[in-house]
Structure 1
Amino acid sequence: MKSLLNRRLLWVGGKGGVGKTSVSAALGVLAARRGKRVLIASTDPAHSLGDVFDRQLGDQPTRILPGLDAMEIDPDVEVEAHLARVTSQMRRFAVPRMMDELERQMRLSRQSPGTQEAALLERISRLVANDDSDYDLIIFDTAPTGHTLRLLSLPEAMSAWTEGLLSHNRKSEELGKVLKHLTPRKGQDIDSPFAENADPSMGELDERSRDVAETLLTRRRLFYQARRRISDPEHSAFLFVLTPERLPILETGRAVKSLEDAGVPVAGTLVNRVLPAEAGGDFFAARRAQEAEYLKRIDHELASWPRPRLPWLTSDIQGLERLEELADALEKALDHND
Structure 2
Amino acid sequence: MSGLDVEPVDETDADEADDHSIEVTPTEAIDDEERATIDVEPSDEPVDGPDYVLYGGKGGVGKTTMAAATALDSARRGVRTLVVSTDPAHSLSDTFEREIGPRPERIDEDAPLFAAEIDPDAALEEGQTVFDAEGGLGGLGGGLGGLGAEAGDLGDAFGGESPMEAMFGGAMPGADEAVAMQTLLEYLDDDRFERVVVDTAPTGHTLRLLQLPEIMDTMMGRLITFRQRLSGMMESFKGMFGGEDADAGADLENLEELRERIERLRAALRDPERTDFRIVMVPEEMSVLESKRLRAQLQEFEIPVGTVVVNRVMEPLADVTDDVEGEFLQPDLDSCAFCQRRWDVQQTALAEAHELFRGTDVRRVPLLADEVRGEEMLGVVAACLR
TM-score, normalised with respect to structure 2 = 0.66
| Cα distance between partner residues in 1 of 2:76 and 2:218 | 45
Partner of 1:79: 124
Q: Is contact 1:128–1:229 with CA below 8 Å preserved after alignment?
A: no
Q: Distance in 1 between matches of 2:253 and 2:114?
A: 34
C-alpha spacing 1:128/1:147, structure 2 compared with 1 (3 Å): farther
- The within-5 A match list for 1:1-338 is 6-65=49-108, 66-80=111-125, 81=127, 82=129, 88-91=139-142, 94-95=146-147, 101-102=153-154, 114-130=174-190, 132-133=191-192, 135-146=193-204, 149-150=207-208, 153-154=211-212, 156-158=214-216, 160-161=218-219, 213-276=252-315, 278-280=330-332, 281-328=336-383, 330-331=384-385, 334=386
Cα gap change, 1:322 to 1:95, in 2 (>3 Å): same
| Alpha-carbon distance, 1:172 to partner | 5.0
Q: Which has the higher helix share?
A: 1
What letter matches 2:56 in structure 1?
A: G
The number of aligned residues is 296
Distance 1:72 1:244 in 2: 28
**Of 115-124 and 142-151, the range deviating more from structure 2:** 142-151
Q: Supply the distance in 1 between the matched residues of 2:92 and 2:362 (Cα, whole angstroms).
A: 24
Could you list the runs of 5+ residues in structure 1 that have no partner in the other structure? 176-205
CA contact (8 A) 2:86 2:117 kept: yes
CA deviations over 1:283-333 (Å, ceiling 9, x no partner): 1111111111111111111112111111100111112222223223x25xx
CA contact under 8 A between 1:243 and 1:271: conserved in structure 2?
A: yes
CA distance, structure 1, for counterparts of residue 84 and residue 295 of structure 2: 22
Distance 2:207 2:151 in 1: 37
Q: Secondary structure at the match of 1:77?
A: helix
Partner Cα distance (1:313, 1:260) in 2: 32
Distance change >3 Å, CA 121–CA 147, structure 1 → 2: farther
Q: Is the 8 A contact 1:78 1:116 kept in 2?
A: no
How far is the alpha carbon of 1:174 from its aligned partner? 7.2
- Residue-by-residue CA offset, 1:14-45 (whole Å, 9 max, x unaligned): 11111111111111221122222211111111
In structure 2, the CA distance between the partners of 1:99 and 1:7, relative to structure 1 (3 Å rule), is: closer
Task: Give the deviation of 1:113 after TM superposition.
Answer: 5.1
Counterpart of 2:183 in 1: which secondary structure?
A: helix
Distance 2:373 2:139 in 1: 43
Shift of 1:158: 3.9
Structure 1 pair 96–15 and aligned structure 2 pair: CA distance change class (3 A) = same
For 2:74 and 2:174, the matched residues in 1 are separated by: 34
Deviation larger for 281-290 or 63-72: 63-72
Change in Cα spacing, 1:124 to 1:172, as seen in structure 2 (3 Å) is same
Q: Does the aligned pair in 1 maintain the 2:59–2:203 contact within 8 Å? A: no
TM-aligned CA distance change 1:99 to 1:63, over 3 Å: closer
Give, in whole Å, the separation in 2 of the partners of 1:299 and 1:159.
37
Residues 270 and 162 of structure 1: CA distance in aligned 2, closer, same or farther (over 3 Å): closer
Question: d(CA) in 1 for partners of 2:220 and 2:204?
Answer: 23
Q: CA deviation at 1:265?
A: 2.5
Q: Is the 8 A contact 2:142 2:150 kept in 1?
A: no
Q: Deviations over 1:213-255 (max 9, x none)?
A: 5444332222111111111111111011110012211111111
Q: Where in structure 1 do 4 or more consecutive aligned residues deviate above 6 Å?
A: 2-5, 103-106, 163-171, 206-209
Query: How far 1:261 sits from its partner (Å)?
Result: 2.8
Change over 3 Å in CA distance of 1:103–1:54 after alignment to 2: farther
The amino acid of 2:112's aligned partner reads G
- Superposition TM-score, scaled by structure 1 size: 0.75
